[in-house]
Structure formats: C-alpha cells, structure tokens
Structure 1
Amino acid sequence: MSSSSTINRAALRKGIGRAGFFCLAFGAMIGVGWVTAMGPWLQTAGPMGAAIAFAIGGLLMLFIGFCYAEVTAMLPVSGGEVAYAYKAFGTSKSFLVGWFLSFGYLSVSAFEAISVGKILSYLFPAIDKWPLYAINGETIFGSHLLLAFVFVALITWINYVGVQNSIRFQVYLTIVFLLIVVSVGAIGFWEGQVSNLQPLFAQGADNTVIGGIIAVFATVPFWLVGFDTIPQGAEEAKDSVTPRMIGILILVSIVAAVLFYILLIFSTSMVTDWPSIVGSDLFTAKAFELAFQSKFLVNGILVAILIGLLTSWNGFFLAGSRVLFAMGRGKIIAPAMGKSHEKYKTPYNAVLFSGIITFISALLGRGAMIAFVDVGSLCIAAAFLGVSLSYLRLKTAFPHQSRPFLAPGGKLTGYIAMVGSLLILLAITLPNSPAALKWPLEWAILLALSILGTIFWTVSKQSREATSLEERDYLILERFK
C-alpha cells in the first residue's frame, strides 16, 4: 500500500481572491445570452413569462447553490464535483458527474466560439466571407471559423500561462461590462414605456403560457451555470479566502446573476414594441437601436456583448479544464490530463484538450448554437443532480466532517435540489416536452459525447486499476479525505 508522502500530487498555483471568485462566477453566468437569446425568450414566454422562468430557475439554482456551498467549503479541492461524488459514491460515479460537467462547460465554450462570428458580423457584415457548408440551414463561413480559431487560441493561451492572468483578465473585463450594462439598463427603465411590455405572456399555436415558461425554465441552468466555476478553482484560492467565504460567494453570485437577467428582460422589453422585432438577431441591440437611434448606445451594447462573451468563455474554459485535470490527477481518466505545468503551475494538457474540443465544436456553426444550449443544459443538470445526491450522501456518511459552511434546511435542501435537477432533466428528455432535445443534431451531439466518454473510460482502465484506493484518496481529496 502506497504512502501519501511518496505520491507525487500535481499542484496548482494559488492566485484567486474574493473579487476574482465573484467575477469568475458572475462573469461566467452573464455571458451573451442576454443578447443572443433574449428574442427567443420573449418569443417563447413573453417578458413576464421569461422573468418568472428565471425567478423559478434562480430559486432552484439557489437550493443547488446551498448544496455546492456546503460541500465546496468541506472539500475545497480542484475539480469540485469530481471530489464530492468520489467521496460520496466512488470512482465510477465520480467519472459520470465529472464527464457530463466538463462537457457541459465545454458546450458553453463552443457556444461562445460560434457567437464571436455572429456578433462581429452584426458589427461588420462584410466579414461574412468564404461560405463553406451549411448546418440546420445556417451557412458556415470560413471567416467565422478563422475568428473562432483566433479567439480559442487566445483563451487557451491565457489559461495556459497562469491562473493569475486568467483571473486578472476576468476581473477587469467584468468591471467594464457592469459599467456599460448598468448604464444601458438604467436608460431602458428611464426612457422605456411600461405599455411596451404587452403582451406580458407569449402564446400561440405552438405553445401555451405554461409551456412557454417551462421551455425557458428548462434552459435557465445553461444561462445561470457559472456559480459552479468557483468550486473548480477552490484549490487555487489565496490564503486570505477561507472555505466559508468561498461558499458564501457561490450564493452571492447566483442572486446577482438572477437579478441581472430579470432586470434586463424588463428593461429591453420596455424600450420598443418587442413582438415586432422578436425574430431579430442580437435582439437587445436591435431594440435599443430602434428606440433611441443612437449609434453610440448600440456600439456600447456591442462592446458589452463582446466583453460578456469573453468573461463567460474564460470562466467556463477554466472550470472545464479543472474538472478534466481533477479526473486525470485522480487517475480516473488518462493521467496525462492531471499534469501541472512545471513553470506556470496550470493543468496544461487539460487546457490544450479543452481548446481543441472547443474549436472542433465551433465547426458546427450558428445552426448548432441552440443545440449546444440544450445539450449543455442536460449535461449540467445531470451534474447538478450528482452534486445534490453527493450532498445528501455526505450528510449521512460523514456527519462529523468539518463543514465551514452549513446549508440551511439540512437534508431538505438537498432533496429540493435533487427534485429540481430531475425536473430539468425530464423537461429536456421527455419527447413531448417544449424543451425536449431535438433530432438529429442535439441527440447526435449527446451521442458523440457519450461515445467519447466511453472511450476515455475504457482506455484509462489499466492506469485506473493500478492505482490503490489510498493513492486515489490522496490524489483527489488530499488532506480533506
């Protein structure tokens, strides 16, 4: 039996402070959905329906967040959910949670890579050059793929050379983003008309009021996921950031993001007759352009879009690479994923792998954007279910382990989070659900993810079986085992 003192456990550099953790989570959550998906939200559910969907989804995320806050403070190690599921249920369940979560994150990364071309083509229509092929009726331009490659390379490089650079990048951009968006939102409320909110709920031949709310609610995990980037970086927290503070920051970031989305839904809907432009690309920018005829205001929104895209992308990219790193370091998958760069102390192989997967996914183009939202929501909801179950199991199996943060409600909180996660999964998978995965693209992406996971699990069998329980405990849990 190996002694933990002789095991080489790859270490990551500590460099994330309180502001860094908040901006990591909030910046990941705000993204570009408030622009690229605002039209579909309103078309599906209307302003009030979309706000209700986010309020209900936000409340559910808060219960899930309580579970995260307790187990993250209990086990502040890289990879978060991988460690919780491992301690609660063992290696195979840990892999399932980690695999779905990492690709939930990378689906967001792919969404952002595709969005770069869409946003810049709105600014500069002339960049739509070199049409190559079409998917779901959307043409994929060579120029967009080139942009995706450049930005993927940038995000990959930032995360390759050190967490301090990544967090500094995140904090500065989040501050600028908030300055712009808060100003735009305030203008919308000040100059907008309450009468423009009508109709409050959208309904038509294809959906009812309740159906519209459910359809938006089912995607809320995708738009609010990001608070769980904090657990991925917990091991890289500065000494001044206590485990309890990490748990609190998870909850603060959820509340801030829910308020952000709801306020922007109302602010944007108030500035113009929203049903008349609901099919427009970049709905938020279009609404303010028509309302104020101000190029400066629209350009400000477009700058905020790009910043939100980068903060979201950077946060999820960092988180996804940490989940893969944690599984590799624990020898659940290929140990190469668990290596730390000698100079930068970053999970460089996991970072490079994440960059490659992101760019390959971006090849599917705009026609796959909603597909990545839906598949990503399923993967993330599956991971949320895993964390809820881990929370409940850890409450029972390890009642005396130190818990710097205690979730209110005890096991009841875990059961609510579990049921909520199951409801989201059912909304996405049941055939007659308004938010069900669509054939063939969305199911094809999910199938490809499952096949790739099976390959990773199978190929890693030898190294996994050669690792003793004591060694894996130390590699994943370190001193918190």
Structure 2
Amino acid sequence: MVHSSPAHEPPETRAQLSRTFRPSWIWAIALGSAVGWGAFVLPTDWMATAGPVGAVLGFAIGGVLMIVIAASYGILIPRFPVSGGEFAYAQIGFGRNHAVLCGWFLTLGYVCIVALNASALALLARYVLPQVAERGLLYEVAGWEVYLGEVLIASAALVVFAVLNIRGASLSGRLQFLFCLVMLAGVGVLLVAAILHPDGQLSNAQPAFPTDATPWLAVLAIVAIAPWAFVGFDNVPQAAEEFKFSPEKAFRLIVFAILAATVLYSAMIFTTAIAAPWATLADEAPLWGTGDAISDLLGGVGVMILAIAVSMGIFTGLNGFYVSASRLLFAMGRARMIPGVFARLHPRHGTPYIGLVFACAVCLIAPWFGREVLVWVVDMSAVGVTIAYTYTCLVAYRQLRSAGNGGRTTAARDGNTAAKLVVAALGTLIGLSFLALLLVPGSPAALGPQSLVALAIWVLLGLVAYLLRYRENSKVSDEELDFLVLGRERG
C-alpha cells in the first residue's frame, strides 16, 4: 500500500506511486495532450497567418524541432524514472532554486491548459448547442460575453475529469487511449470525405501562402508556436514513476506521438482548406471557421463527426494535463518545496488526489473570467513550457558530459555519447530560440502586452511564494532532497 510522509518524517519514508500505465496509454497521453482542441478550432487562424502550405510546413518543421528536444527527455527518463519530470531534472542539474523556478512555471502551464480545454468545450457548445451555452448572459470581459450556460458546461467538465483521475490511473489511461482512437478515426473520416466530395476542391487551398506576407516569415510564425502546439509530449516524464514497462521505451512513444500530432494538425488544415476557400474564411473571421467549412461541404453529418472529434481532443487534453499537473504537484510536495499535503495519496485509489482537487479548484475560477483573458494567460504560459524544455536539454547535456568515470567527459571515446551531446546542445539552442521568439519585441510570435503583464504577475507571485517557503525548504538537506526527488542517493 502506498503511503505519504509528514513534513518532517525521516527520509526512510517516501510517498511513491504504483506502476500502472501501459505503453499505449502513455502514447495516448502524449498525443492527446499535444493535440487537444487547437487542431480543430484554429486551422483558419493558422491559414490566415501562413496559408495552407505555410501552416503545414510550419507544423512539420516544429514537429522536427520538438523531436530534437524530446531526445533529451529520452536520455533523462530512463536515468530518473520519477514523478516531476522537468522539475526533477532541474533539481538534479542545477539545484533546488532552479527546480522551484521550473516547477512554478510548469504548474501554471499545465493548470491553464486544463482550464483552456474546458473553455473550448463551452466554445464548442456555443456552436453546436447555442440554446444551451448562450443562456443567462452575465457580463462581458475583454470583449467576450460570459454566459452562465457556458460557465456550467466548462465547470462540469472540470469536475468530471478530476473525479475520473482521482478514481485511478488505470481508468484515466484506458479512457485516454479510447479518446485518441476515436479522435484519429474522426479526422480520417473527415479528410477522406472532403477529398472524395465533388465540391471539395484543391483550388480552395490557393494561394498556398498569404499574399500580404513573406512566405518564410509566415512559416516562421507557425514554427514559433510549436512549444504551445506540441506541449503535452512532456507529460510523459511526469508519469515515469508509474510506467508498467521499461523507461527505455519512453522516447519512441514520444516520437510516435509527435509524428501523429503533426499528421493530425496537417490533416485538419488540409481538410478545412479544401472544404471551402480558406482566404474567404480568414477574411470573414467566423466563430468557428473549420465548423463552417465542414458544415457547408458535408452538412449535419460532417458537423456531428467534427464535434465528436473535437470533443475527444478536448477530453484528451483535460485528462492528460490533469495527470501531469497532479504528478508535478505531488513531486514538489514530496520534495517539500510546496506544502507536504500535496504528497498525500488517496487511501483507496493511490492517486495524488490533493493535486487534482487543487488543480480543479483553480480551474473552476477561470470560466468566470471569459475566454479572452484565459488565452492571454495561456499565451504567457508558453514561456514556462519553453523554459522547462530548455532545462531538460541543458541537464541532459551535463549528464552526458559527466556520465560515469568520475565526471570525465565521455564524448571523446564514445561516438554515441558524442552524437547525443550534439543533440542535447542543439535542443538547448532550439529552446533558447523559442524563448527569444516569445520575448523579443517585433518577433513573429512576440507576446502581447496583456500576456507580458500576466507573466510579470506570475513571476512576482512566484517570488512571494518562494520567500514564504524559504525557511521551511532550507530545513531539507541536499542528501534528503535527493532521496525525496529520486528515491535514492544521486549516483
């Protein structure tokens, strides 16, 4: 039976999660989290930025860059198969202060994406069942009308998936895999139907790039959102402690998930582009351009299939990021960097239920602020995810440099290690480049002023939280912290 440890119990006791997750479930967590709702809601936005060909090229390049970054996860997961993922890696490579920084930003990113997926379900209801979602107008926030109906829909989804995750990892894993299969089937049916339909025209996808932008800049703007578009493959290390298989398989599962996500993004862009003239959709800026295009081409049946597919994407995002957020909070609580209550496990189901309840409670606030405000916060959280990617690549590089032999460099004598060193260094550069694209004014993906304000507020809150916990954290020795994070002394 799993058990948790009080705040100052000797390090011989350490909460530990059961080995439950199968390879197919982990692949589904990575894919479903990476795709989420965006592939079904945003194709017209992406085509307005880069055109159909530019958008597909941008996602293909972004997918390749993510695989380069994922290679560092493939190095670290087998070495440190523990909950916490990037939080644990930052602590291993750079110490507790860096771990707190990384964990703080990741917590924000994961929780916000849970909330955004719930709001996407309400957005879908506005399109499919407006008579339900658009009932009880409450107020307007940043130009977005907030209805009681959509707040209740989003809140219900948040509560249901929190309960499902509390009831066991096996249940959430099986559901995630099922949701992914249905989602992939729905996308396949829509693509084939659009191609075979007499009114589905390749000419609708012209021009390939927007006429008012330089093609390579347009593609770069899509590449720049890759950390957001593919975020979710990094959920895999959060569940590493619960693998019911060799951690060596993790990298292959991540690569297959990124490739599948790239194909799915491209398929939905292509389906939307041939269903209706994309330039017209982009100019009209409808509530849901993909929905309008599918409705015009395939009618009510097409909209139903699309609604099922996007619902599965939303469900996989909700479920996957609940898994990762709760495991991250569990690992930080176990390391005593946040209150130790987060390290408690459910007495019956063995799940980190305090983290799940906390994430749900925070997310339940979000629907009342309207989708526009939430989008600002999620845009800002891309910075935190990119920071986590960069930490992982840096730690992988340092681990490879000092692997064995008392810290001596192994690259000179081991060609395989030398190649991995190059990949880890390249991943670090890619991560830093993504950060520059987000933070440097004038870049194609620079954060807007609202997102920068949200980022500054989150940094300030993190500093306050760190100072409040400083005395408590300093009581944990480095040796004890290594045990709490890794389950063993660092080797």
Q: TM-score range by the shorter chain?
A: over 0.9
Structure 1 unmatched ranges of 5 or more = none
Are residues 1:137 and 2:149 paired? no
Identity score, percent: 30
Instruction: Look up the match of 2:221.
Output: 215
Instruction: Look up the match of 2:466.
Output: 457
Matches of residues 112-131 of structure 1 in structure 2 within 5 Å?
Answer: 112-127=117-132, 128-131=134-137
Question: What code does the residue aligned with 1:195 have?
Answer: S
Counterpart of 2:419 (choices 397, 409, 420) is: 409
Matches of residues 286-435 of structure 1 in structure 2 within 5 Å?
Answer: 286-292=292-298, 294-399=299-404, 409-435=419-445
Instruction: Look up the match of 1:202.
Output: 210
Are residues 1:108 and 2:116 paired? no
Counterpart of 1:18 (choices 3, 23, 26) is: 23
Question: What code does the residue aligned with 2:113 have?
Answer: V
Deviation at 1:373, TM superposition (A): 4.1
Contact kept, 8 Å, 1:69 with 1:251, in 2: the verdict is: no
Instruction: Look up the match of 2:85.
Output: 80
Deviation at 1:456, TM superposition (A): 2.7
SS at match of 1:479: coil
Instruction: Look up the match of 1:466.
Output: 475
Contact kept, 8 Å, 2:291 with 2:303, in 1: the verdict is: yes
Q: Determine the C-alpha separation between the residues in 2 that align with 1:58 and 1:269.
A: 21
Q: Which runs of 4+ in 1 moved over 4 A?
A: 3-6
Q: Determine the C-alpha separation between the residues in 1 that align with 2:331 and 2:43.
A: 35
Instruction: Look up the match of 1:264.
Output: 268
Question: What code does the residue aligned with 1:394 have?
Answer: Q
Moved more, 210-219 or 37-46: 210-219
Question: What code does the residue aligned with 1:45 have?
Answer: A
Deviation at 1:433, TM superposition (A): 1.7
Contact kept, 8 Å, 1:133 with 1:140, in 2: the verdict is: yes
Q: Determine the C-alpha separation between the residues in 1 that align with 2:436 and 2:341.
A: 36
Instruction: Look up the match of 1:247.
Output: 251
What per-residue deviation string (whole Å, max 9, x for no partner) do you get for residues 27-76 of structure 1?
Answer: 11121111221111011111111111111111110000111111111111
What per-residue deviation string (whole Å, max 9, x for no partner) do you get for residues 148-181 of structure 1?
Answer: 2111111211122221121122112112222222
1:462–1:5 distance in 2 versus 1, CA, 3 Å: closer
Instruction: Look up the match of 1:28.
Output: 33
Deviation at 1:318, TM superposition (A): 1.0
How many equivalent pairs are there? 469
Contact kept, 8 Å, 1:35 with 1:283, in 2: the verdict is: no
1:430–1:55 distance in 2 versus 1, CA, 3 Å: same
SS at match of 1:410: helix
Q: Determine the C-alpha separation between the residues in 1 that align with 2:256 and 2:379.
A: 26
Q: Determine the C-alpha separation between the residues in 1 that align with 2:375 and 2:433.
A: 20
What per-residue deviation string (whole Å, max 9, x for no partner) do you get for residues 241-280 of structure 1?
Answer: 1011122211221111112212322232122211112212
Structure 2 unmatched ranges of 5 or more = 1-7, 407-415
Instruction: Look up the match of 2:166.
Output: 160
Deviation at 1:95, TM superposition (A): 1.3
What per-residue deviation string (whole Å, max 9, x for no partner) do you get for residues 227-253 of structure 1?
Answer: 111111110111xx1011122211221
Contact kept, 8 Å, 2:104 with 2:462, in 1: the verdict is: yes
SS at match of 1:210: helix
Q: Determine the C-alpha separation between the residues in 1 that align with 2:251 and 2:217.
A: 34
Deviation at 1:214, TM superposition (A): 2.5
Contact kept, 8 Å, 1:45 with 1:203, in 2: the verdict is: no
Instruction: Look up the match of 2:457.
Output: 448
Q: Determine the C-alpha separation between the residues in 1 that align with 2:44 and 2:211.
A: 14
Q: Determine the C-alpha separation between the residues in 2 that align with 1:373 and 1:77.
A: 27
1:408–1:368 distance in 2 versus 1, CA, 3 Å: farther
Question: What code does the residue aligned with 1:197 have?
Answer: A
Q: Determine the C-alpha separation between the residues in 1 that align with 2:449 and 2:289.
A: 27
Question: What code does the residue aligned with 1:163 have?
Answer: A
Counterpart of 1:282 (choices 277, 283, 288) is: 288
What per-residue deviation string (whole Å, max 9, x for no partner) do you get for residues 317-347 of structure 1?
Answer: 2111211211111112222222222222111
Moved more, 69-78 or 453-462: 453-462
Matches of residues 22-101 of structure 1 in structure 2 within 5 Å?
Answer: 22-101=27-106
Contact kept, 8 Å, 1:47 with 1:197, in 2: the verdict is: yes
Q: Determine the C-alpha separation between the residues in 1 that align with 2:420 and 2:480.
A: 32
1:430–1:181 distance in 2 versus 1, CA, 3 Å: same
Q: Determine the C-alpha separation between the residues in 2 that align with 1:54 and 1:121.
A: 28
Question: What code does the residue aligned with 2:84 have?
Answer: G
What per-residue deviation string (whole Å, max 9, x for no partner) do you get for residues 424-472 of structure 1?
Answer: 11111112123211123x1232233223322332222232111122211
Counterpart of 2:238 (choices 229, 232, 241) is: 232
Q: Determine the C-alpha separation between the residues in 2 that align with 1:282 and 1:325.
A: 37
Contact kept, 8 Å, 1:427 with 1:434, in 2: the verdict is: yes
Instruction: Look up the match of 2:410.
Output: none
Contact kept, 8 Å, 1:54 with 1:261, in 2: the verdict is: yes
**TM-score, length-normalised on structure 1?**
0.93
1:339–1:4 distance in 2 versus 1, CA, 3 Å: closer
Q: Determine the C-alpha separation between the residues in 1 that align with 2:170 and 2:50.
A: 41
Question: What code does the residue aligned with 1:252 have?
Answer: F
Q: Determine the C-alpha separation between the residues in 1 that align with 2:195 and 2:374.
A: 30
Q: Determine the C-alpha separation between the residues in 2 that align with 1:19 and 1:106.
A: 24
SS at match of 1:201: coil
Question: What code does the residue aligned with 2:384 have?
Answer: C
**TM-score, length-normalised on structure 2?**
0.91
Deviation at 1:301, TM superposition (A): 0.5
Contact kept, 8 Å, 1:116 with 1:147, in 2: the verdict is: yes
Q: Determine the C-alpha separation between the residues in 1 that align with 2:402 and 2:352.
A: 31
Instruction: Look up the match of 1:436.
Output: 446
Deviation at 1:369, TM superposition (A): 4.8
SS at match of 2:138: strand
1:463–1:20 distance in 2 versus 1, CA, 3 Å: same
1:466–1:282 distance in 2 versus 1, CA, 3 Å: same
Q: Determine the C-alpha separation between the residues in 2 that align with 1:107 and 1:203.
A: 35
Q: Determine the C-alpha separation between the residues in 2 that align with 1:161 and 1:300.
A: 30
